[in-house]
């Protein structure tokens, strides 16, 4: 990962950068603090340039103007925040990303963090800082020709604020979240010959530096525990499977933990039910759920969240060699339930089945949320705009929905029910791992639900959001790190002491 941004927080004093960034409303009026910096004639300069370029101050839009001689800066960059009456709709992280998109490589900019027509809080400015950082993320360590040049051309952003100490304090927590998102993006973007189950586990172990307790279970231990469904997925690979348990103890001893579980298929060929060749390279991202959980544990530990949290990830590689699992095989999961393998490409639910059962049985959590790039069917239903949300608990589902709206990592609740559950009944075992095309994301969720007992649980199908993600103001990466901000917000709003 290359971080192409140097971010500083300073008081409203002398201009130091080459560019000046000013926020304007749809009336093209900047905040009083910005007008002081613009000097006499500032408004008329903005009005003339906006008229020439048809710039209307729409939220997140931008306009760059050559500064007049003697201004003390070289360029004036206007970024719109929209109507003053719609300020509650403004996403400050996206605003930071929009600003970052206007900054020049290798240039420095003073950003006047003041809004026209109203005050801006330290928390909102910190969100701007988060957006600046996330927009400037780049995964380029394998681009030998451009890597060093991009690093030497880092952008310098100086946020000019009224209360620098309050903003620095608020930004500290956002930097922890940004670090978690960037870690998740790095993991998803890595090639599969570099990031395989053992290597992923070793990278998760680095969280020990932040105070996270990390336990790595190898195949010998997994066999002893009885995770036969998970091990069945990886038995065709030369790479051994792993389960990693990460624990952050930020609340009182004995406080019931919250739990997050991630699917970590570091490469998915489909196994014997092999996938088509076209686009198979994207299956390096089939561990985006595990990446999110790892990034979330980083964020919680780095900001010292007052919560006890458990992150458990199942790491396997699904390959089609002579020892690979076959359609028609029957395996006994950790829960004791038997599973008929219909399609070896429906492998993620086998991994999660054992890890979910293990987590609820060992840790007795307050709730479990699992994330998985589980089904292509969720893309048919929701495209890449929302992750699919399935849950056995209305309160947990509603809290996830609200956290999604707040962070922009949105979810949409999908149905569960007895009729769908019946579709995964097997003639030869307790259940089958695939019910076919119809309702594919729902029947996959029904499969998972059979392995959670009565624990409040939510399943997030992130096949459309975790990899090959849409380009946004705060993400230009193939791997989005989706879910870290969502789940951190869930914890912060409802589960911290």
Give every CB contact of residue 425 below 8 A, 6+ residues apart in sequence: 431, 432
CA atoms within 13 A on the CB side of 370: 36
Taking CA 32 as the corner, what is the angle to CA 27 and CA 33, rounded to the nearest 5 degrees?
130
Find out whether 490 and 401 touch, Cβ atoms under 8 Å.
no
Q: In whole angstroms, give the CA distance from residue 220 to residue 206.
A: 23
Taking the CA of residue 101 as centre, how many other CA atoms within 13 Å lie in the half-sphere pointing to its CB? 19
Is 399 one of the annotated active-site residues of the chain?
no
Helix residue ranges, H only, 235-347: 288-302
Buried b (16+ CB within 10 A) or exposed e, 175-197: bbbbbbbbbbbbbbbbebeebbb
Residue 446 CA to residue 168 CA, distance in Å, equals 45
Identify whether 275 is a catalytic site residue: yes
Give the Cα separation of 311 and 213 in Å (integer).
10
R_g of the chain computed on alpha carbons: 24
CA 297 to chain CA centroid, nearest Å: 12
* Catalytic residue from among 56, 203, 275, 413: 275
Q: Helices 122-135 and 164-189 meet at what angle, rounded to 10?
A: 30
Task: Determine the straight-line distance between the first and last CA of the chain, rounded to whole angstroms.
Answer: 34
- Choose among 384, 386, 387: nearest CA to 370: 387
Q: Which of 160, 242, 284, 349 is catalytic?
A: 349
Phi, psi values for residue 420, rounded to 5°:
-70, -40
Pairing of strands 330-332, 308-318: unpaired
Write out the two tokens for 453: 């007992």
> Could you give the residue numbers annotated as active site?
275, 349
């Amino acid at each position: 990962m290359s971080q192409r941004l140097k971010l500083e927080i300073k008081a409203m004093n002398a201009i130091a950068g080459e560019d000046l960034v000013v926020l304007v409303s749809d009336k093209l009026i900047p905040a009083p603090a910005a007008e002081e910096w613009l000097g006499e004639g500032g408004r008329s300069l903005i009005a003339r340039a906006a008229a020439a370029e048809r710039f209307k101050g729409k939220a997140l839009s931008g306009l760059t103007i050559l500064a007049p001689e003697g201004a003390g800066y070289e360029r004036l960059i206007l970024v719109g925040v929209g109507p003053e009456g719609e300020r509650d709709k403004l996403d400050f992280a996206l605003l930071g990303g929009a600003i970052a998109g206007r900054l020049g490589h290798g240039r420095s900019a003073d950003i006047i963090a003041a809004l026209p027509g109203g005050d801006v809080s330290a928390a909102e400015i910190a969100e701007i800082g988060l957006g600046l950082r996330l927009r400037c993320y780049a995964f380029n360590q394998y681009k030998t020709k451009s890597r060093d040049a991009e690093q030497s051309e880092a952008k310098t952003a100086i946020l000019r604020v009224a209360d620098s100490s309050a903003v620095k304090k608020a930004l500290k927590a956002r930097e922890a979240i940004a670090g978690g998102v960037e870690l998740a993006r790095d993991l998803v973007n890595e090639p599969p010959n570099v990031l395989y189950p053992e290597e992923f586990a070793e990278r998760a172990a680095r969280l020990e530096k932040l105070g996270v307790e990390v336990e790595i279970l190898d195949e010998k231990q997994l066999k002893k525990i009885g995770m036969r469904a998970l091990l069945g997925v990886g038995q065709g690979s030369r790479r051994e499977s792993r389960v990693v348990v990460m624990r952050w103890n930020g609340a009182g001893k004995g406080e019931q933990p919250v739990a997050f579980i991630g699917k970590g298929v570091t490469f998915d060929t489909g196994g014997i039910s092999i996938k088509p060749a076209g686009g198979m390279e994207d299956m390096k991202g089939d561990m985006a759920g595990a990446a999110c959980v790892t990034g979330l544990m980083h964020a919680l530990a780095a900001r010292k969240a007052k919560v006890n949290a458990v992150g458990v990830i199942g790491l396997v590689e699904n390959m089609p060699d002579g020892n690979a699992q076959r359609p028609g095989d029957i395996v006994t999961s950790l829960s004791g339930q038997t599973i008929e393998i219909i399609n070896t490409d429906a492998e993620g639910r086998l991994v999660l089945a054992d890890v979910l059962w293990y987590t609820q049985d060992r840790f007795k959590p307050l709730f479990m949320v699992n994330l998985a790039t589980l089904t292509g069917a969720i893309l048919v239903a929701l495209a890449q705009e929302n992750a699919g949300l399935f849950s056995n608990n209305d309160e947990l589902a509603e809290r996830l929905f609200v956290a999604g709206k707040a962070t922009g990592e949105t979810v949409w609740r999908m149905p569960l029910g007895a009729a769908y559950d019946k579709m995964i009944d097997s003639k030869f075992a307790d259940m089958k791992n695939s019910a076919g095309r119809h309702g594919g994301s729902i029947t996959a969720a029904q499969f998972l639900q059979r392995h959670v007992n009565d624990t409040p649980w939510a399943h997030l199908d992130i096949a459309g959001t975790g990899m090959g993600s849409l380009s946004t103001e705060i993400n230009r990466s193939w791997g989005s790190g989706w879910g870290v901000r969502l789940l951190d917000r869930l914890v912060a709003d409802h589960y911290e002491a």
